[in-house]
Structure 1
Amino acid sequence: MAFLSSRRRRARLVLALDDPALDRLLKALLATTRTGTIATTDLCSAQISRLMDEETDDWDRHTQRMSVLAHCLSETHVPRAWTAREPGNARARVLHAWSLLVRARAQRSLADGNTIAQNCFRAAELAPQDPTPWVVLLGLARLERRGQPEAFGIWNEVLARDRWNREAYLGMLRYLGPDEMGSRIQVLDFVDAVRARAPENAPCTATELTAQVLQYHSVLALGGVEALMARNHWTHVEAAQVLDRAAHTWARPGFLHHAAALADLNLLAYALIAAERRHDARPVFEAIGGQVVSWPWSVGGEPVAEYEKARSRTTIGG
């Protein structure tokens, strides 16, 4: 993993994680969209296509890159205009659909559900092996609060193309939670099934820890005495065992090698600090090297400031 380093670095928010090619693309897209010229969309789409052409069949990295691009371009005209210019381009259609989904989540209002679905189904026809149209359809099913048979059907379409797709597993985890269309019991059953079947370093490895962090956040959200005692969540046997497994393996050089590994290490560092396991958190912070992702740090405030505050605590006690 390129980001592993023992040097203490100044913390910064990273959208591209440890993907230098994607980072260069995001900077190029920002510079291009600022020009305001009539050729902006053509240039942006060419820059995106050039990067995507390098991936071959690495669906894990492809999904991660599509997710980042959709979030970064959701407030621009680029995805829609690219699709209009190249209606037979599956990547353009997925990016358009995903950017609309990101916008709908941010606005908490779904005005383009049909457009999202149509783009995804057409993209699936154009690129049958690509899991990302189905990843976006799963996100749409969550937003529309579709029933579980339909959601699981879409989820299985993703898995048929990319068995351990991180985005799909984390999406289903939230869908099965009490805040969406499931319950705490269904979350536990889902997590048990993932732990029993998935390799320890699969791209979806953070599903179990994410479930624990979401449960911890649900206690914090109660406020009052419950929030003050939320740290006790990590003393429960199940939560402590999840942290043990991750803390003992994830920060090892080369153990995690999926595209969003850096995001998972941020999650682990956050959980270890919440559990007051500062000694265990130190090597994780070293592995992160100051490269911060928004969630879960944003739950407590500004992500970089929260990260720095947490990292400083690892120098105090054990």
Structure 2
Amino acid sequence: MAFLSSRRKKVRLAPELDDQDLGKLLKSLLATTRTGTIATTDLCVAQISRLLERDPEDWDRRTHRMSVLADYLTAVSLTRSWATREPRNANALVLHAWTQLAHGRSQGRLDDAAAVVDSCLRAAQLVPEDPTPWVVLLGVGRLERWEQPQVFGVWNEVLARDRWNREAYLNMLGYLTPQEAGSRIQVLEFVDALTARMPANAPCAATELTAQVHQYTAVLDRGGFEALVARNHWSQTMAAQALDRAARAWVQPGFLHHARALADLNTLAYALMAADRRREAHPVFEALGGTVTAWPWNIGGDPVTEFDHAQRRAAAGL
């Protein structure tokens, strides 16, 4: 086991996943934003702009990059400065709106929902074919608990531009839960309708398994005896079938090729370990190469520690 452990790649949180260009940009932003000068802001904006202008119609990649950058930039005023200086730049408007949304999620509310909506609508007018302004609006609707007709209207705007947008499906999944604005029946209907039509390797392929992980963690949260036997969730028909389908297909080389494929593999590895299917989890960890996403590993504690512990157990085949 020591030999195997020595060959294991370093376990690390990597929000960029396998997007090397995004990873380089994040490192550069970390190095340059520390000075806080105007020239530094200009340099950062130029770097961000160059990245977002690549592959302009790869909506899946664009959504991933926007989401990661928004989370990364919530503590600085860079996006506000950019959007103020370039009010007709759709990239600046969407990124600033998304940064505000990311901050709002961390606080449980938006400081100025109307301003975020306005930025999104202006960006949508500038680049009508771009789904990302509507993806941000969907996040706003979820956080602000908009009524379902309004949320579904935004949802349809996303689908008209990017049929299998991963971020949009996961936002709708969360919105439809009993904890937010829906019910368990609505979640089941939503997932059933998706799986009946969706290509097996679509960017939103993990929606069904994500729903099962949410149900599993809801059992854990109840505590007591139910939490002790929560593993039984994965033996129920719907959960077992979702896990079977993912475990069988996702580790095949090249099967998943969307921007957040490694995030979905993290979800699969977590679910397999929760179900005590350790031997099946082992090739998933191998495919991940030590790349960790905060969710779902943070359900149990520090995500890197939880991932590393689970990976070792899977390698041991216990």
Q: Could you state the TM-score of these two structures normalised by the residue count of structure 2? A: 0.97
Question: Which consecutive aligned stretches of 4+ in structure 1 deviate over 6 angstroms post-superposition?
Answer: none
Alignment of 1:44-123 (within 5 A): 44-123=44-123
- For 2:111 and 2:35, how far apart are their aligned partners in 1? 29
Please give the per-residue CA displacement for 1:183-242, whole angstroms capped at 9, x wherever unaligned: 011000000011001100000000000000000010000011111111110010110110
- Alignment check: 8 A CA contact 2:109 2:143 kept: no
- For 1:103 and 1:314, how far apart are their aligned partners in 2? 36
Equivalent residue number for residue 147 of structure 1: 147
**Gapped regions of structure 2 (runs ≥ 5):** 1-6
1:295 alignment partner, SS class: helix
- For 2:36 and 2:64, how far apart are their aligned partners in 1? 28
- For 2:37 and 2:151, how far apart are their aligned partners in 1? 42
- For 1:87 and 1:188, how far apart are their aligned partners in 2? 41
- 1:293 is matched by which residue type in structure 2? T
Alignment of 1:250-269 (within 5 A): 250-269=250-269
The answer to whether the aligner puts 1:15 opposite 2:22 as a matched pair is: no
- For 1:227 and 1:40, how far apart are their aligned partners in 2? 50
Report the alpha carbon displacement of residue 8 of structure 1 after superposing the two structures with TM. 2.3
1:177 alignment partner, SS class: coil
Equivalent residue number for residue 28 of structure 1: 28
- 2:31 is matched by which residue type in structure 1? A
1:315 alignment partner, SS class: helix
2:54 alignment partner, SS class: coil
- For 2:173 and 2:89, how far apart are their aligned partners in 1? 31
The answer to whether the aligner puts 1:187 opposite 2:187 as a matched pair is: yes
Report the alpha carbon displacement of residue 75 of structure 1 after superposing the two structures with TM. 1.1
Equivalent residue number for residue 303 of structure 2: 303
2:222 alignment partner, SS class: coil
Equivalent residue number for residue 290 of structure 2: 290
Report the alpha carbon displacement of residue 40 of structure 1 after superposing the two structures with TM. 2.2
2:109 alignment partner, SS class: coil
- For 1:316 and 1:8, how far apart are their aligned partners in 2? 13
More deviation, 109-118/268-277:
109-118
- Alignment check: 8 A CA contact 2:109 2:144 kept: no
Report the alpha carbon displacement of residue 30 of structure 1 after superposing the two structures with TM. 1.0
- For 1:160 and 1:69, how far apart are their aligned partners in 2? 25
Q: Tell me the matched-pair count.
A: 312
More deviation, 31-40/116-125:
31-40
- 1:300 is matched by which residue type in structure 2? G
Report the alpha carbon displacement of residue 317 of structure 1 after superposing the two structures with TM. 3.6
- 2:106 is matched by which residue type in structure 1? A
Report the alpha carbon displacement of residue 24 of structure 1 after superposing the two structures with TM. 0.3
Report the alpha carbon displacement of residue 314 of structure 1 after superposing the two structures with TM. 1.0
- For 2:86 and 2:313, how far apart are their aligned partners in 1? 51
Alignment of 1:175-254 (within 5 A): 175-254=175-254
- For 2:316 and 2:257, how far apart are their aligned partners in 1? 30
Equivalent residue number for residue 127 of structure 1: 127
Report the alpha carbon displacement of residue 125 of structure 1 after superposing the two structures with TM. 0.4
More deviation, 301-310/39-48:
39-48
Equivalent residue number for residue 4 of structure 1: none
Report the alpha carbon displacement of residue 110 of structure 1 after superposing the two structures with TM. 2.0
- 1:63 is matched by which residue type in structure 2? T
Equivalent residue number for residue 278 of structure 1: 278
- 1:283 is matched by which residue type in structure 2? P
Report the alpha carbon displacement of residue 163 of structure 1 after superposing the two structures with TM. 0.6
RCO comparison, higher one (Cα < 8 Å, 6+): 1
Report the alpha carbon displacement of residue 56 of structure 1 after superposing the two structures with TM. 2.4
2:180 alignment partner, SS class: coil
2:268 alignment partner, SS class: helix
More deviation, 188-197/109-118:
109-118
- 1:166 is matched by which residue type in structure 2? R
Return the structure number with greater helix share: 2
- For 2:291 and 2:144, how far apart are their aligned partners in 1? 34
- For 1:286 and 1:96, how far apart are their aligned partners in 2? 36
**Gapped regions of structure 1 (runs ≥ 5):** 1-6
